[in-house]
Structure 1
């Protein structure tokens, strides 16, 4: 059954009203964070500063990039970054390591909902973010196992395969074939032979990449520290308020800090500090596994990244490159549709000290099935599963991030709600919000930044009712009978 955008699942109102709270103590250590970096518990100064020019909450790709951008523009700025746990311990240190756009999956819906101009801007922003992240890591010698490669989306549902063809055709029509990202369709035989994925109806190839988002984020934080950032880890912001002098007061267990400007790079946790976004930005817990490859697969890694697309949802997968730690490992996330309550109980769930076992078991089973017994072979002699962990994403009603100043709240900015798709959104969104903070929000920014990503009163009034797009997230949208 196709998703009905006007239907609200009866349990969603309950799930979206669960307060996200603070990030949990002692989360499962993700594959990427073992071992944690030397700056994981960094406190630049022993005591929390009493004031700053700008306070950033959240040390993921967004927060670290914004800090770096601001200090690159003005080294005299007093920038303090607060992190509730260890540095980069949230979604940026817990994801699947995939820099993959998959913009075609939402292009048609974007055209219908926000118009062709913004749909094209979204496509370009995601592609350019992917390119820029890898280029930045090379430029600054960040050791994050950065790899640019092709990706392959393997389809097991004919309707979705046909919809992909239609969406790519529309993209090429509106953008021009030479300007649109290049997409190459393959039939089932070529998919099985070239990409070792039997049993499909066909596949779609385009540009992608992989990296350790944790190491990338740590690298950006170190660059910002070198420019004067004051990083305060294990220092959760517990509440925010604005006084008569228009300064923001940020309360923490270690004291209070005040600043004229405040940036919340808190993704799925944003409503904890700004309750007006309760039910507007909704957390969703996802599961990722790192698996040793079957003995018949290339042990030094596959040449492409993957997604496996079927009626109920999809999985996303990278293969760790040759020369990296645990080369050849498969890192795959998804399996939301088999989670408890058809995945519904993962909405509003911020408990990354554990994970949904049904999803984890599914992820371990599906790789053998996707590659087939012949291509997979026997499990690795050291065991199939190397690590399983969870992470918290943030979703909005319209499927777009919240980036920029908050209406009616002088000096308050957001860079949050990245729809499980942050690795091809956060870095350039950080450039955009930096421009806004610096008062450079004009024609140049408008030329490339999607209008639909900006924070507006109208968007803040929309409560989350279920996923309406399938750009980067692993879960299907709930519909009336609890399936898709």
Structure 2
């Protein structure tokens, strides 16, 4: 089966060259465009497509403390961590907003499983930062989901009270903040209420590149950047044939860590994982500003009118701020600018003015800070019909594994999902014993669900 998956205009889905420059790629690692060998190897035990957090974490869990390591080739269409991981907010927490949806659709046990999985992710990544001595600005903090309208604040409080009433023990780390103290504690102007929970922020590009550099230094992993996969097919002898412009590789197993680009190389996911274009920014304050703003001790969600119109905001240790979202500025316009769009070489300029004033408009003490956008970029996420990633063995595809389609919320999911995929491969485990939340399993039933256009 070849990978000639198309979008509506007849164009192949693949990472484009000349992508916009995100802040996270302003300090490049020497491994950024690395190739382990001049020529592609002819074959391997495991071939991983994608060198972002998903692909590199899978390789790490396959090789770390493995006395009989498999031969692994890691292919990346562009540079290491140039896709969604290098374009996100650099932030992870257990998303309390998912709880009601999961309880309603899958039951309390599935919600508990998901929340504890996300919470464990923070400490698992913190542990590997410490174990591998990664210099990636990892900071454990609190996340403050703020409500800027009274109606949404009341809705959040109602759901929180209902969760307490039915005894959801897995939300113990979530703290509700009412209107009396919300503005003062958060520093967000006019905050009507919200919730806080533990969070981890880090520099995602540095986490991924330094972790990959550790593997290159101490294992035999073969990394090949600027090597786009054109197709993956099965040979009569049971091997997978992975074709690239530089030649073909025979692989016993293939891992699709390709997120929003997956349909371009695995057509079974056409209209199942759809590329969505989003935007993010880095905001800085002039060093000579006469009105230095106060330090912000939380990371934030700013709900202007519910989660559909929400910004995420991560104050950096150096005083800069990452802010993403601004959906109200462009999502009601031409849908082609963002839906089924895999081109991150162009900006969504409508969002710039929103980001230019988001700090002054919403945070106490920032009115005269001079805060301004110095980086604006776009990134491609993988969107699925039910809002959950596709993970595990791909149905009807022998020895194909996937972890992709994170709906813009991959950071609190990926690292331990990659560990689960690695366990399935290393120990020949079924999905149900992998430790990955049950609702992530890719199944024939889920593959019948198209993303609404």
| TM-score using structure 2 length | 0.91
Q: How does 1:302-313 map to 2 (within 5 A)?
A: 302-311=296-305, 312-313=308-309
Work out the CA distance in 2 between the residues paired with 1:378 and 1:80: 51
Which residue of 324, 328, 332 maps to 2:323?
332
The alpha-carbon deviation at position 213 of structure 1 amounts to 0.7
Which residue of 60, 66, 72 maps to 2:52?
60
Q: Which residue of 2 aligns with 1:354?
A: 346
Q: How does 1:219-234 map to 2 (within 5 A)?
A: 219-225=210-216, 226-234=218-226
SS of structure 1 residue aligned to 2:109:
helix
Cα distance 1:56–1:329, how it changes in 2: closer, same or farther (>3 A)?
same
The alpha-carbon deviation at position 74 of structure 1 amounts to 4.8
The alpha-carbon deviation at position 172 of structure 1 amounts to 4.3
Work out the CA distance in 1 between the residues paired with 2:201 and 2:10: 33
Q: Tell me the matched-pair count.
A: 440
Q: How does 1:51-450 map to 2 (within 5 A)?
A: 51-72=43-64, 73-102=66-95, 104-172=96-164, 176-177=168-169, 179-225=170-216, 226-293=218-285, 296=291, 298=293, 301-311=295-305, 312-321=308-317, 327-339=318-330, 341-342=332-333, 344-345=335-336, 346-372=338-364, 375-380=365-370, 384-441=372-429, 445=433, 448-450=435-437
Instruction: Write out per-residue CA displacement over residues 95-146 of structure 1, whole angstroms, 9 at most, x where no aligned residue.
Output: 11111332x2121111121222211111111111122112211221100000
SS of structure 1 residue aligned to 2:379:
strand
CA contact (8 A) 1:50 1:258 kept: yes
Cα distance 1:169–1:219, how it changes in 2: closer, same or farther (>3 A)?
farther
Cα distance 1:163–1:136, how it changes in 2: closer, same or farther (>3 A)?
farther
The alpha-carbon deviation at position 75 of structure 1 amounts to 4.5
Structure 2, unaligned runs of 5 or more? 1-5
The alpha-carbon deviation at position 340 of structure 1 amounts to 5.3
The alpha-carbon deviation at position 15 of structure 1 amounts to 7.6
The alignment's C-alpha RMSD in Å is: 2.2
Cα distance 1:249–1:440, how it changes in 2: closer, same or farther (>3 A)?
closer
CA contact (8 A) 1:289 1:364 kept: no
SS of structure 2 residue aligned to 1:194:
helix
Work out the CA distance in 1 between the residues paired with 2:7 and 2:182: 39
| TM-score using structure 1 length | 0.86
CA contact (8 A) 2:78 2:228 kept: yes
Structure 1, unaligned runs of 5 or more? 1-13, 322-326, 467-484
